[in-house]
Amino acid sequence: MNLTTISAAELKEKLRNNDPLRLIDVREPYECRICHLPDAVRIPLQRIPDQAPALDRYLPTVVYCHHGVRSELVVKYLVKTCGFRNVVSLSGGIHAWATEVDTKMRQY
């Protein structure tokens, strides 16, 4: 894991170990209806500036989207603008999760 991303395998291990963390899905609602990770907080990208101040900035957080582009932008925003200290993007997004961890997950 580098400073801003986590692999699907690393996230799987953290979830298996019940590590305390928050998942934030920044995809659009129609994308979330196709597939999603259980217990993820759904905050579409355009709602992040409104909703981020209410989030605990110290809770370890993994942000994800379809391929990792939007989630990388959100991670940068949360760190630089909101003072988050422990936030990473799921490298490859939910697509990586579906192809590397949960191959039965619906893909798009």
In a domain, 89, yes or no: yes
Domain boundaries, position 91: 5-100
Condensed to tens digits (0 to 9), the pLDDT of residues 70-80 reads 999 999 999 99
- Rounded to whole angstroms, how far apart are CA atoms 64 and 26? 6
In a domain, 107, yes or no: no
In a domain, 57, yes or no: yes
Beta-carbon neighbour count of residue 97 at 10 Å? 23
Condensed to tens digits (0 to 9), the pLDDT of residues 17-48 reads 999 999 999 999 999 999 999 999 999 999 99
Decide if 32 is catalytic: no
In a domain, 72, yes or no: yes
The dihedral over CA atoms of 36, 22, 84, 102, expressed in degrees to the nearest 10, equals -40
Out of 32, 35, 65, 82, the active site residue is: 65
Confidence band, pLDDT 50/70/90 cuts, at residue 3: low
In a domain, 46, yes or no: yes
Number of domains in the chain: 1
In a domain, 105, yes or no: no
CATH, residue 92: 3.40.250.10
Determine the angle formed by the axes of helices 8-16 and 93-100, rounding to 10 degrees: 70
In a domain, 106, yes or no: no
- Rounded to whole angstroms, how far apart are CA atoms 17 and 93? 21
Report the predicted TM-score, pTM, of the whole model to 2 decimal places: 0.95
